[in-house]
Amino acid sequence: MARNKFDVDEELETPFSLMHLKRLLVYIAPYKGKITLTVCIMLIASAANLIGPYLIKQAIDKEIPEKNINGLLILSGIYLLALIITGVCMKYRIRMMSDIGQSVIKKIRADLFIHLQKLSFSFYDNRPHGKILVRVVNYVNSLSDLLSNGLINLITDIFSLVVILGFMLFIDVKLTFLALLGFPVLAAIIFLIKNAQRKAWQNLSNKQSNMNAYIHESINGIRVTQAFAREEENKRIFQEVSDGYRSSWMKAVYIQFLLWPSIENISVLTVSFIYVIGISFIGNGVTVGSLVAFVGYLWMFWTPLANIGIFYNAIINAMAYLERIFEMMDEKPTVMSDPDAVELKEIKGKVEFKNVVFGYEEEKILNNISFKVNPGDTIALVGATGSGKTTIISLLSRFYDINSGQIKIDDVDIKTVTIPSLRKQMGVMLQDSLIFSGTIMDNIRYGRLDATDEEVIMAARAVRAHQFIIEMEDGYQTEVNERGTRLSNGQRQLISFARALLANPRILILDEATSSIDTETEIALQKGLETLLTGRTSFIIAHRLSTIQSATRILFIDKGEILEEGSHEDLMNTKGHYWKLYHSQHLSLNIG
Ligand SMILES: Nc1ncnc2c1ncn2[C@@H]1O[C@H](COP(=O)(O)OP(=O)(O)OP(=O)(O)O)[C@@H](O)[C@H]1O
Ligand SMILES: [Mg+2]
């Protein structure tokens, strides 16, 4: 069976890159002070922790033989104090590091999100949205561990190692060298396991990403799934994706748990070895107390060493995530304002397309489109599905850049003005009317955030949405969700219609604005629309020709070219494509 398209892994192995690390440091830099403080506290904690075996040595070698109860009590007191200091410092460290780690992550995520908002349509056209989601959520989360523990631990682990080694050397140089015989073995094990482990985690993160992307798409498409009774098939795909996740998880965990037992074994072996050897040293400058203390330090020795290995691993892992995250941040919007772009002044609404050629990819979709529109005109675009109507009006808002030719508004090339100043003067109602989570009032106000309630209601009245809105249980305050499931298609269209109108734009673009609205509402709307359209340039795309008969001019589009152009009467007289289309609709209406 062919692999489903969700089981495609991203390449996550990245060579260590100083550049990514430097970029990450920019995010960490604001917390320099807090980090330094935490490191200091951690150093105090490890120092307090490390004093333990030395105190035991003092007790065995000095206080106990001398039967000095007071001395023993003092040593116990110091030990207790050291334990308390360690505990308190640890607690503080966890709080501080979580705080710093999460702040950094929050900033990275915010930057990523803000950047995503700027990216052009073409970025979103060709990617599963679930995978974008995974980068913003999962990949950023994966940095958390490195940020909150890794860096600080590294410093304290190195410090501990040095101090432990110092104590060990101080107690006995020969024993220390004997104990270090275990080191090459440990290094080899960490090295071997570490590589396997990293691969396993990368694999796991890939499988997780695939699963998330699939779940995301399935939930989005649940209606279609159920309508076509595709549940079984989807279950199969999901099972496949989820099996992949499970087995890579098992593998990762298995390898993960190889590490600590191995370290433990080595510790036990070296400690036993030192006991056996150490006893023969006793009397030759080594006391019982110092042997016990030495072994105490030896126990402590392996943990920071292994931690450093693990840290190295974590940073290599994080490198791959960082690369993906920064790659997305570096993604340039394909449509950008020119560096020397100027604000588009308040426009009158003259529009001109001059030999416009455009293709989303290689293939040309629009061929040499030219037309002129006077301020206040209503232009209707008609033509078969896929002929390029939506494409033409997307170019006017500069959602995509054209390949050649020119688009001018009020005789200004739209390439020379800033994008926000251009889009702010247009009211666009896209073909798929999107409703956001929130109240109906919020949804209409999306068109112009500073509109008053009265203005919102006026816009709703104008598009004949007012009636059905006030009939809902909370009127304008009724909550609707992101997919607008509480609303019928027509109601959704009316709301986005009101939204476009509220912006009070000089140029109004309505793509299939009325396709789902019943004829009665449409006729009522038509009257409101006429007053609304006066004084604005508007582009109307409609399959139902009844909507557009009063347009100043109709452009008949076919395969990215304008075949006919003129008023309804002109085109009817020409008896061409438009005339044919008109008659076929009327015929089907009459038959229907
Ligand atoms: N984002 C895109 N990426 C690549 N090709 C696209 C994209 N959007 C549309 N197309 C292609 O461009 C052509 C014109 O599409 P367009 O959406 O402009 O048609 P339309 O006239 O609006 O059709 P409809 O009446 O069905 O809305 C189609 O062949 C379509 O496959
Ligand atoms: Mg379209």
For position 154, which CATH number holds? 1.20.1560.10
Picking from 22, 93, 47, the residue whose alpha carbon sits closest to that of residue 300 is 47
363 and 321 in one domain? no
For 144, residues 6+ apart whose C-beta sits below 8 A from its C-beta are 101, 102, 105
Q: Distance between CA 482 and CA 175 in Å, rounded?
A: 69
Picking from 389, 387, 396, 480, the residue whose alpha carbon sits closest to that of residue 434 is 480
- For residue 346, being part of any structural domain is answered with no
Q: Distance between CA 62 and CA 289 in Å, rounded?
A: 9
370 and 224 in one domain? no
Q: Distance between CA 196 and CA 251 in Å, rounded?
A: 10
Q: Are 23 and 322 in contact (CB under 8 A)?
A: yes
| Residue after which a domain boundary falls, among 298, 330, 362 | 330
User: What is the domain-level CATH number for residue 580?
Assistant: 3.40.50.300
- For residue 533, being part of any structural domain is answered with no
Do strands 537-541 and 553-558 pair parallel, antiparallel, or not at all (unpaired)? unpaired
- For residue 495, being part of any structural domain is answered with no
390 and 307 in one domain? no
- For residue 577, being part of any structural domain is answered with yes
Do strands 438-439 and 537-541 pair parallel, antiparallel, or not at all (unpaired)? unpaired
371 and 303 in one domain? no
Spatial strand order of the sheet with 561-566 comes to 426-429, 507-511, 537-541, 378-383, 553-558, 561-566
367 and 241 in one domain? no
Picking from 437, 431, 443, the residue whose alpha carbon sits closest to that of residue 485 is 437
Beta bridge mates, 508? 427, 538
| Residue after which a domain boundary falls, among 299, 330, 361 | 330
388 and 313 in one domain? no
Cβ < 6 A, ligand 1 pocket: 125, 360, 365, 383, 385-391, 431
559 three-class SS: coil
- For residue 210, being part of any structural domain is answered with yes
Q: Distance between CA 200 and CA 194 in Å, rounded?
A: 10
Give the per-residue pLDDT at 482: 67
Q: How many A from CA of 391 to the centre of ligand 1?
A: 6
- pTM for the model: 0.77
Torsion sign over Cα 330, 335, 340, 345: negative
Mutate to test the pocket of ligand 1, among 122, 126, 390, 545 (most ligand atoms within 8 A of CB): 390
Domains: count for the chain: 2
Picking from 88, 90, 58, the residue whose alpha carbon sits closest to that of residue 76 is 58
- Whole-Å CA distances, 383 to 297, 402, 541, 567, 574: 83, 21, 9, 15, 16
The protein residues having their C-beta less than 5 angstroms from ligand 2 (an ion) are 390, 431
228 and 133 in one domain? yes
Q: Distance between CA 318 and CA 69 in Å, rounded?
A: 53
Structure token pair of residue 163: 């101090």
51 and 93 in one domain? yes
- 582 φ, ψ to 5°? -60, -45
- Tens-digit pLDDT profile for the chain (592 aa)? 344 555 566 666 566 678 888 888 899 899 889 888 988 888 888 888 888 888 888 888 888 888 888 989 999 999 999 999 999 988 888 888 888 888 988 999 999 999 998 888 888 887 777 778 888 888 888 887 777 667 777 888 888 888 888 888 888 888 888 888 878 887 888 778 877 877 888 788 888 888 888 888 888 888 888 888 888 888 999 999 999 999 999 998 888 788 778 888 888 888 888 888 888 878 777 788 888 888 888 888 888 887 887 787 777 778 878 888 888 899 888 888 888 989 999 999 999 999 999 999 889 999 999 999 999 999 999 998 899 999 999 999 999 999 999 999 999 999 999 999 999 888 888 777 788 888 999 999 988 889 999 999 998 988 888 988 999 888 999 988 766 567 887 888 888 888 888 888 899 998 877 777 777 777 777 766 776 677 889 999 987 777 788 889 999 999 999 999 999 999 999 889 999 888 887 765 554 4
Q: How many A from CA of 507 to the centre of ligand 2?
A: 18
Closest ligand to C-alpha of residue 392 is 1
- For residue 186, being part of any structural domain is answered with yes
300 and 421 in one domain? no
357 and 314 in one domain? no
Q: How many A from CA of 220 to the centre of ligand 1?
A: 22
- For residue 202, being part of any structural domain is answered with yes
Take atom 10 of ligand 1 and give the residue whose Cα is closest: 360
| Residue after which a domain boundary falls, among 278, 297, 330 | 330
User: Max CA-CA distance within the chain?
Assistant: 122
- Domain residues for the domain of 232 are 18-330
- Whole-Å CA distances, 68 to 78, 288, 497: 16, 18, 91
412 and 303 in one domain? no
- 168 φ, ψ to 5°? -65, -45
Q: Distance between CA 126 and CA 140 in Å, rounded?
A: 22
Let me know how long the chain is. Answer: 592
Q: How many A from CA of 492 to the centre of ligand 1?
A: 22
For the chain, the straight-line distance linking the first and the last C-alpha, in angstroms and rounded, comes to 46
**Residue 433: other Cβ atoms inside 10 A:** 24
391 and 315 in one domain? no
Q: Distance between CA 298 and CA 176 in Å, rounded?
A: 9
- For residue 337, being part of any structural domain is answered with no
Q: Distance between CA 370 and CA 352 in Å, rounded?
A: 7
Q: Distance between CA 511 and CA 494 in Å, rounded?
A: 12
